Amino acid sequence: MELHFKKPSKETRDAMCEAAKSIDYASNRGFDEIRLAQDKISKTTGHEYVKILNSGNSAILAVMNSFKNKIMVPDQGGWTGFRNMAEFRGIEVIKVPTDLGIINPETLEDTINEHKPEALFITSFAGYIAEQPVKELFEVCDDKGVILVEDASGGIGDKEKNLGNGEHAHVIVASTGSPKIVNVGSGGFISTNNNELFKKSKVLLKTLKANPVTCAGISEEIKNAPQILSKTGEACNILKKEFKSAVHPDKRGISIALKTDDPKKTGYLLRQELKADGRGIVTVCPRYERVLIDAVCLEIKNLDVQCLENDTLKEIVRIVKGIID
Ligand SMILES: Cc1ncc(COP(=O)(O)O)c(C=O)c1O
């Protein structure tokens, strides 16, 4: 069995090469490439305003810049950048209690009532392993005057329109670095209908802006997002059914977490067997960005979707069962 690490499509790499050769920095400084990518992102998220930056964390920092006092994050299954950027700006971080990363709308309401925060930062999938009820969380936030910021690095292009959908997120941020759903190798973006947010962070947005070559890559690679997301999700669904130890077995995800008593040893053994072009696809938990219990994660999202065929999935199951069950 050969596993391959995800890489940008040939068309995306060609588009980036072409942009690198043809952009006339003297006359229009890559504005056409930037504008085209902004339009494509806007069509995908449904938000009116888009800024493209040099990374996902830059996007989070620029958004964080519009808050002053207090924000919320999930107590597990979030992204460390939320906390880091809040700390950098001197903003207090409140942890919302979760069920292994999933936020219950009623718990969210109670937390908002108690702490009066300005925003909630979540990822589309808690720890990449289970879908957040984004629409329900948005309704609570919107009702309470709290800004919902969805990091859709793993949820862009959702055919079911639950994730990365501007109708139920005030702000969407995403990384387009490797190995994300829009996998360009670098970059990130912010989308919103609230232009005020951008006005507050003008200096940061200018300082952290993306290279037009990255923008040319995003315009091409974003076309593949719906297919990549659905194929990765389907593969996780097939795999989860095989393991009683799967965390959140009934929720959509793009990585799978399996409970185990000795995650370090299990992780070590799995890493010997499961490699994609020499790179590991196993994460050992407890870990804030995944789940805070003893578990190992198989990062299916890191794999080239071409390898997610039935025979390969069967072989992955055979290998993992030999180690875990
Ligand atoms: C959910 C999520 N958000 C943001 C980032 C940060 O993205 P970048 O590496 O482009 O700064 C990552 C990186 O792994 C991530 O997984």
What's the pLDDT score for residue 61? 98
Q: Where are the domains of the chain?
A: 10-224, 225-324
Q: Is the pLDDT of residue 13 over 70?
A: yes
Q: pLDDT band for position 325 (50/70/90)?
A: low
Q: Which atom of ligand 1 is nearest to the CA of 186?
A: 10
Span from the CA of 321 to the centroid of ligand 1 (angstroms): 30
- Please state which architecture CATH assigns to domain 225-324: Alpha-Beta Complex (3.90)
In this structure, whether the domain defined by 10-224 belongs to CATH 3.90.1150.10 is answered with: no
List Cβ neighbours of 1 (8 Å cut-off, separation of 6 or more): 311, 312, 315, 316
Q: Is 123 in the pocket of ligand 1 (CB under 6 A)?
A: yes
Q: What percent of the chain has pLDDT over 70?
A: 100
Contact 299, 255 (CB under 8 A): yes
Distance CA(322)–CA(315), nearest Å, equals 11
What's the pLDDT score for residue 183? 97
Q: Is 211 in the pocket of ligand 1 (CB under 6 A)?
A: no
What's the pLDDT score for residue 324? 86
Neighbours of 302 (CB within 10 A): 24
3-state class (DSSP) for residue 82 = helix
Least confident range from 87-91, 248-252, 278-282: namely 278-282
Distance CA(262)–CA(251), nearest Å, equals 25
Q: Which atom of ligand 1 is nearest to the CA of 188?
A: 10
Q: Are strands 171-175 and 279-280 parallel, antiparallel or unpaired?
A: unpaired
Mean pLDDT value of segment 100-118: 98
Q: pLDDT band for position 27 (50/70/90)?
A: confident
Buried b (16+ CB within 10 A) or exposed e, 160-193: eebbbbbebbbbbbbbbbebbbbbbbbbbbbbbe
Span from the CA of 274 to the centroid of ligand 1 (angstroms): 23
Q: Which atom of ligand 1 is nearest to the CA of 154?
A: 1
Q: Is the pLDDT of residue 114 over 80?
A: yes
Q: Is the pLDDT of residue 151 over 90?
A: yes
* Protein residue closest via CA to atom 5 of ligand 1: 56
pLDDT tens digits for 168-212?
A: 999 999 999 999 999 999 999 999 999 999 999 999 999 999 999
Q: Is the pLDDT of residue 129 over 90?
A: yes
Pocket mutation for ligand 1, best pick of 53, 57, 254, 283 (most atoms within 8 Å of C-beta): 57
Q: Is 188 in the pocket of ligand 1 (CB under 6 A)?
A: yes
Q: What percent of the chain has pLDDT over 90?
A: 95
List Cβ neighbours of 256 (8 Å cut-off, separation of 6 or more): 129, 236, 239, 240, 243, 246, 247, 297, 298, 300
What's the pLDDT score for residue 296? 98
Q: Is the pLDDT of residue 232 over 70?
A: yes
